[in-house]
Structures are given as structure tokens and as C-alpha cells.
Amino acid sequence: MGLGTGVLSGFAGVGGFIVTPLLIILGFPSHLAVGTSLTWVAGNSIIGAFRHRKLGNLDIKLGIVMVLAVMGGVEVGVRTLNSVRDTSSADETVLSVSICILLTVGLYTLIESIKRKRYLDKILAKGGVIPAMRATALSQKLQSINIPPMLHFASSEVTISLWIILALGFIIGLIVGIIGVGGGFIMVPALVYLLGIPSFMAVGTVLFQIIFSAAYGSIRHAMSGNVVIFASLIILIGSGFGIQFGALVTRYIRGVSARFILAISILITAIGTILKFLVTIIGKSAAGLEAVSLVVTFSGLGLAVAIISTLFIMAIHYRRDKHVPTWIESLVTKQD
């Protein structure tokens, strides 16, 4: 689990959204799964942020501003979870919130990445040069809202109101505190689609800000007795190796690939979480369904790692002018 989530987080800036459901599926009570997951996320993000900084995929100024907004949301989220953790519906609450968010973010990201790939395929078929991803219509509208103070982020080449960033960060922080994720699977698409940040710049920046928000969340959960330190350290050992490889692959593929794999991972995790949700409702008679949930979630993680590894191999061949399938060309790049 650590190795797989490390590869995925280094590649797409996320991973915590898988750890929490997996820990619950493996038998951890929801409040321990949430706290333990956040503790792992904090350590894992430190490794990933350093790696992406070397690759130039980090906007420190934007990351610091996001941290300030996310902290307040995390505090509210932790207090909310503590208020329900001793009730009989605690697991159902965490899982149901996770399912709704996973499906919403996963479906939107999948639809957008498919449209983007079709667009790139058409350009390549005509022998054209693929342009950089343009800001979405929604991000252009948000950037045009002139509510002082307006902040300019040179690394991301974006100018936007501070209040928009604070509102976005607070909402994500709230989710972080409740369901125990680093918020990356929400924040990466949010930075790309809402703020107009390039995909890999979003990945590195998210990993940087998650260091602080997840650390704060894990400390708050530790104070509430919600963290199993030994479990988070075991996962971190595996992810420390995986995240190096995941970050390396970003040099060889296009942003649409990261978003596509992110969407697939989120949706498969949603399926596994739905099965676990059914288990909590049905009870002990659903032991077989719980096993299926475990298989589906782990298989989804394995599939994501397999796709990332395959794209890396194809990208190497493409840079060496070797033959690759036509549909691969829009997913990989010959330039760093």
C-alpha cells in the first residue's frame, strides 16, 4: 500500500484519499484510519515536495497562502469528526462523505481529461504542434474578479484575488479534517480547473502545502488519540521509494496523463468505498462483500501504478524515436 500510494502521490500529487478507505477496509476504526492517514500524508508530502522542487514544479508563494486557508478548515473538520466518532454512525458518516466527494471529483476529471486527449489527438493527426493547456473558462472568470488584494504568482503565471484562494482553501481543509486525506485529490483539480495552474505545477504546490495542513491535522488527531504512529511509519517506508519514481515520470508525460490516471484511481477507490459502506450497513453477513471491497481498492491502486509504469516505458521509446502506438503520442512528451 505504501509503495503504490507513493508512486501515485509523486505522479499526481495525491494518495491519501486511498489510504483512509484502505485502512477502514483493513479493520481500523474510522477515527484511527483518518488520523493515521493524515500522519502518513504529512511525512510523504515532505519527500514529494523536495523532489518536485528540483523538477521546477513548485510555487512556494501560492503554497504558503493555501496553507493559511486550509488550517482553519482542518480545525473545523477535526472538531466535526470528534463530535461523531463515538456514535454508531461514525464509519457511515466518514464513508458517505468520502463517496460523494470521490465520485464528483473523479467523474469531472475523467470527462475533462478524455475531452483534452481527443483534442490533442486531432492536432497530432494533422501534424500540428500541441499547445500548452489553456486556462478553463471558469478559471478565467475567477481570475477576472477584482476583489483586492489581488495576488500575482510568478511561478504559476496567475493573478487572482486572495479571497478566492482563502475560500477554496477553507473548504478543502474542512474535507481534510473530516475524511483524513491530504486534500490533494480535490486540490490538484481545483488548482488546474478553478485557478488555471499548470498540472504539474499544481502537483508540486499541493504536495508542499499539504506538508503543513496534514501535519497540523495529524497533531490535532494525535491530541485526540486518533493516530497509530507505527502503522503510518510502515506505510511511509514504502511510499518513500515510490514517490521518487512517480515524480520522475512527470518529466516524460503530459499533464492530461496525470489527470486521467488521477480520475481512474479516484473512481476505483469510490467503488471500493461504496462496497465497504454497504458492509457497514449490512453487518457481519456481508463478509464476502468486504473481501471484494479490499480486492477492488487494492487492484485500483495496482492498476494506477501499472499505467504510470507503462507510460514511462512508452515515453522512453518515444524520445528515442522508436515506434509507439498512435494513441500514446498525446500522453507523452519529448521535452522535459
Q: Each residue of 204-232: pLDDT tens digit?
A: 888 888 888 778 778 888 888 888 989 98
pLDDT in the model for residue 146: 87
The answer to whether 205 touches 63, Cβ cutoff 8 Å, is yes
Q: How many CB atoms lie within 10 A of CB 336?
A: 9
Choice between 85 and 122, residue whose per-residue pLDDT is larger: 122
Residue 193 covered by a domain: yes
> Where does the pLDDT of residue 85 fall: very low under 50, low under 70, confident under 90, or very high at 90 and above?
low
Residue 135 covered by a domain: yes
pLDDT in the model for residue 86: 61
Residue 334 covered by a domain: no
The answer to whether 31 touches 226, Cβ cutoff 8 Å, is yes
In 180-286, where does DSSP find H-type helix? 184-193, 199-223, 229-249, 255-282
Residue 196 covered by a domain: yes
pLDDT in the model for residue 335: 66
Q: Minimal CA–CA distance to 217: which of 15, 18, 77?
A: 77
Inform me whether the pLDDT recorded for 309 exceeds 90: yes
Query: What is the grid cell recorded at 1?
Result: 500500500
The answer to whether 161 touches 146, Cβ cutoff 8 Å, is yes
Choice between 314 and 172, residue whose per-residue pLDDT is larger: 314
Residue 247 covered by a domain: yes
Choice between 112 and 131, residue whose per-residue pLDDT is larger: 112
Residue 161 covered by a domain: yes
Burial of 93 (C-beta count, 10 Å sphere; 0-12/13-18/19+): middle
Number of domains in the chain: 1
> What range defines the domain where residue 42 resides?
2-328
Q: pLDDT tens digits for 225-263?
A: 888 989 989 999 988 889 889 888 988 888 888 888 888
> Where does the pLDDT of residue 336 fall: very low under 50, low under 70, confident under 90, or very high at 90 and above?
low
Residue 335 covered by a domain: no
Inform me whether the pLDDT recorded for 91 exceeds 80: no
Q: pLDDT tens digits for 145-162?
A: 888 898 888 888 888 999
Residue 62 covered by a domain: yes
DSSP code for 151: E
DSSP code for 134: P
Inform me whether the pLDDT recorded for 289 exceeds 60: yes
